[in-house]
Amino acid sequence: MIKKSTVCMGLALFFIFALIMPMTGCAPAYYAAMEKVGKEKRHLLKDRVEDVKTDQTKAQEEFKDALTRIRELYNLDGGELEAFYDRLKGSYEDCEDRAETIRKRMGQVHTLATDLFAEWEVEINEIGDTKLKSASRKSLADAKIRYKKLKTAMDRSRKAMDPVLSKLNDYVLYLKHNLNAKAVGALGQEVVSIEGDVESLIRDMGASIQEADQFIKNF
């Protein structure tokens, strides 16, 4: 029978390392602590992929909101520029914060996948039975293929954020320096350009989310 104190200690380690691992390089200690509470690298990888999926779903809405803000230019009165600037700046900051979180999440996914596959390779060599070794090697190859598809989709969506964020930052800074009717006219001409970028980003994020679903389901 497992002692209550042991369970409590395991849970404490889980929460402590769940908080500090993304900010430190103590992966071996983190993995060891997670194993004590039944979390193998496979489970951790699926959890981190789920985190990316969740943040990308939120990012889709935040980038859509930013585009909605820009479209307000069509019906904007000159006296509303200050309030419009504040709204657009807030939307940009939300998108930038979410993008940074997504980049960090994806980095964690890549680190976990790399460590998991390396461990898998080592453990395959410890299997004595030829048939079991061959089957395990095939499972590893299949897992790498699934992860490669996921990583490709995630990388595409990550890169698609950059042009949108760059343009949003340009618009915010331009408005900061030019809160007048001329600014409305100049930015109004840019709406079509960023619309295409946002729509492309939303599609890429959708594809990444779908790949994440498949990875979580089949891994």
Which residue would you say has higher pLDDT here, 133 or 32? 133
| pLDDT surpassing 60 at residue 137 | yes
Q: How many domains does the chain have?
A: 2
The rounded percent of the chain whose pLDDT value lies above 70 is: 87
Kindly indicate the confidence band of residue 182, based on its pLDDT and cuts at 50, 70 and 90.
Answer: confident
Do 116 and 155 lie in one domain? The reply is yes
Do 30 and 133 lie in one domain? The reply is no
Do 18 and 83 lie in one domain? The reply is no
| pTM for the whole structure | 0.84
Across residues 171-190, what is the average pLDDT?
A: 83
Do 6 and 107 lie in one domain? The reply is no
Do 21 and 120 lie in one domain? The reply is no
Mean pLDDT over all residues of the chain?
88
Kindly indicate the confidence band of residue 32, based on its pLDDT and cuts at 50, 70 and 90.
Answer: confident
Quote the domain boundaries for residue 25. 1-39
The two three-digit tokens of residue 161, written as one number: 């954020």
Do 6 and 84 lie in one domain? The reply is no
Q: State residue 108's pLDDT score.
A: 96
Q: State residue 25's pLDDT score.
A: 56
Do 79 and 129 lie in one domain? The reply is yes
| pLDDT surpassing 70 at residue 4 | no
Instruction: Report the alpha-carbon distance of residue 8 to residue 20 in Å, rounded.
Output: 18
Kindly indicate the confidence band of residue 161, based on its pLDDT and cuts at 50, 70 and 90.
Answer: very high
